[in-house]
Amino acid sequence: MTPLRIGLSANFIHADPQRPLFKGKTLKFVEQELSQWIMNEGALAYMIPSPSPGGNLPLEAFVQDLDGLVLQGGADVSPLSYGETPMRPEWSGDRVRDEYEISLIRMFLAQGKPVFGVCRGLQILNVAMGGSLFQDIGTQLPGSRVHRDWEIYDQNFHNIVFSQPSHLASLYQNTTTTRVCSVHHQSINTLGNNLVVEARSTDDNVVEAIRLEGPTWAYAVQWHPEWHAPDDNALMDGRILLRDFLAAVKRHKDNEKVNP
């Protein structure tokens, strides 16, 4: 059977004339553990480059050729993308990447192809659907827990609780709370159109998972399931959610064959 072809939205390192490597050039990359996580389930992972303006191959060409989309983590979402001004310069985010990913989200959804967001991926899906974000949890949600600790980074864990009923609860039966890896300082403020909350942080009620209502499978989580060691029973097994995404991708692909 031909492997599923999963597109990964790119991380951007913008041109920097002071950078010793690729001086003055824009770089795009994927985080290795995310791509390996997908490929470990038998799917192929492809980074989706942003085409040059006026080029012969627009983003639609990549969307047409791929079976599903994964939105990876990375830089802040720009407040400008949801109609706000950055409260601090360091929270200005990446407006260029926002526009690229919002375009991808809308194109994949328009074709009925599944979308799965990780960390920033949850935030940009929410913004693409008309929602907004807290620019900084610590500033705008006093008393909240620390969701990103640079010193321990991917070892910063906390509990989440599933909404009842929810798709997440149906996947992880006999489980109401679980432990996840937290590496973010922005979070959902206003929920986007047709989105529902699937999980929250037990400590401060921060939204941790969302689902798009409707015929197209679209889901996003605030944590990094690809960083959860599969043999660590203290953490949520992210493979269950990944397999659900890939099953949705396969269903859509099979349906396209039957109804081209």
The residues annotated as belonging to the active site are 119, 224, 226
**Cβ contact 214:177 at 8 Å:** no
Query: Alpha-carbon distance 73 to 134, whole Å?
Result: 17
* DSSP H or E run through 158: strand 157-162
Query: Alpha-carbon distance 69 to 46, whole Å?
Result: 10
Half-sphere exposure of 159 (CA within 13 A, CB side): 8
First-to-last alpha carbon distance for the chain, in angstroms, is 19
Query: Alpha-carbon distance 86 to 78, whole Å?
Result: 7
Query: Alpha-carbon distance 168 to 149, whole Å?
Result: 26
DSSP code per residue over 29-89:
E--HHHHHHHHTTT-EEEEEPPPPTT-SS-HHHHHHH-SEEEE---SPPPGGGGT---SSG
Neighbouring residues of 251: CB distance < 8 A, sequence distance ≥ 6: none
Count of C-beta atoms within a 10 Å radius of residue 256: 13
231 alpha-carbon distance from chain centroid: 23
**Encoding tokens for residue 177?**
């709370």
